[in-house]
């Protein structure tokens, strides 16, 4: 029986996948344990780029004559397994899995191509490759952390008067589950919006936007033009959020991502309806902002669209009720 298992483990696919998976999980463990290497973390190029490169290299290296198909796709087995294990044990949330998996697969394929190169199959080359992330990490740490601020705007037509739309925008009574449509952000485990209250109208007013599971955003009004424009700064109350509510790598108000401000603009149209705009100012502070921005925008856009759909539905219902009363 022992001989049978040894025979199985000698098979290139099994032995390569096992060594690649073991390396990936070890690197992920070290990325969370600052005692070993404080400059090595998950949100670094050393981990996002170099670790899957090494993982793919180790996955292909045991094969004596790997085909191009093998080099391209064999690394995906240990890469996908590593991501699954990290998700199951709670190291990563669904949002990070969605954002990280594509680049991890691509980089593991590049590593697989290198692993099929005969000149890199020696012991010294393999050791140097395995140490690559831990060499890159201190060098990367010396570079300034890039910060990018950009605006994301979503628009929806509302068949109601500016007054009716404005009433829904300023304060939002509790949103019932049946008012929400299926959305990307809820499928990824992000809390759904509940309500928004305002302590007083006008500039300086404080708006409290509450989401499920204790998530609270304190919004301070900086521009108030009744029935036309409402703008506010946003401060995530991170101290009030229970641990585990949000994925720590994409927590709003955290070191990597934040929502700085929000703005509703009502654009009256000739037919008496309104074009309602919702814009957010977003901060990204990662080593891979160009890759992260489309993912963040997709998630934030799904939140904005969902909120706008609720406001439209409520404003249009209110308009229909007023029209029915006027007709009586």
Query: DSSP characters for 116-160?
Result: T-GGG-SHHHHHHHHHHHHHHHHHHHTSPPP-EEEEEEEEEEE-S
pLDDT per residue, tens digit, the chain (328 aa), is 444 444 444 587 888 899 999 999 999 998 877 666 678 888 899 999 999 999 999 999 988 889 999 999 999 999 999 999 998 988 888 888 889 999 999 999 999 999 988 777 667 778 888 899 999 999 998 888 889 999 999 999 999 999 999 999 999 999 998 998 888 888 888 889 999 999 999 999 999 999 998 889 999 999 999 999 999 999 988 776 665 556 666 778 788 899 999 999 999 999 989 999 999 999 999 999 999 999 999 999 999 999 999 999 999 997 555 444 444 4
Residue 46 has a pLDDT of 93
Q: How many helices (H) and strands (E) does the chain have?
A: 11, 7
Judging by beta carbons within 10 Å of its beta carbon (0-12, 13-18, 19+), is residue 15 exposed, middle or buried? middle
User: What's the residue count for the chain?
Assistant: 328
């Amino acid at each position: 029986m022992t001989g049978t298992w040894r025979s199985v483990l000698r098979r290139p696919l099994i032995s390569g996948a096992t060594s690649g998976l073991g390396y990936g999980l070890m690197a992920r463990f070290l990325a969370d344990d600052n005692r070993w290497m404080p400059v090595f973390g998950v949100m670094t190029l050393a981990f996002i780029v170099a670790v899957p490169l090494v993982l793919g290299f180790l996955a292909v290296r045991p094969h004596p004559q790997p085909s191009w198909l093998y080099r391209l796709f064999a690394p995906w087995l240990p890469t996908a397994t590593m991501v699954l294990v990290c998700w199951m044990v709670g190291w990563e949330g669904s949002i990070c899995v969605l954002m990280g998996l594509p680049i991890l697969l691509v980089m593991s394929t590049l590593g697989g191509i290198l692993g099929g190169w005969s000149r890199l199959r020696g012991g010294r080359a393999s050791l140097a490759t395995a140490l690559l992330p831990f060499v890159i990490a201190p060098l990367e740490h010396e570079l300034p952390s890039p910060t990018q601020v950009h605006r994301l705007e979503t628009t929806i037509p509302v068949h109601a008067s500016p007054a009716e739309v404005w009433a829904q925008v300023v304060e939002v009574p509790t949103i019932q589950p049946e008012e929400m449509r299926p959305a990307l952000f809820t499928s990824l485990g992000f809390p759904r919006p509940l309500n928004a209250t305002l302590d007083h109208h006008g500039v300086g007013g404080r708006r409290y936007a509450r989401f499920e599971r204790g998530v609270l955003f304190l919004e301070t009004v900086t521009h108030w033009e009744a029935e036309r424009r409402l703008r506010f700064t946003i401060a995530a109350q991170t101290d009030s959020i229970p641990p585990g509510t949000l994925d720590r790598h994409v927590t709003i108000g955290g070191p990597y991502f934040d929502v700085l401000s929000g703005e509703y603009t009502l654009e009256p149209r000739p037919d008496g309806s309104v074009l309602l705009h919702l814009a957010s100012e977003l901060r990204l502070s990662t080593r891979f902002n160009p890759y992260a921005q489309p993912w963040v925008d997709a998630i934030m856009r799904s939140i904005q669209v969902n909120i706008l759909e609720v406001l439209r539905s409520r404003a249009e219902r209110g308009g229909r009720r007023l029209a029915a009363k006027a007709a009586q």
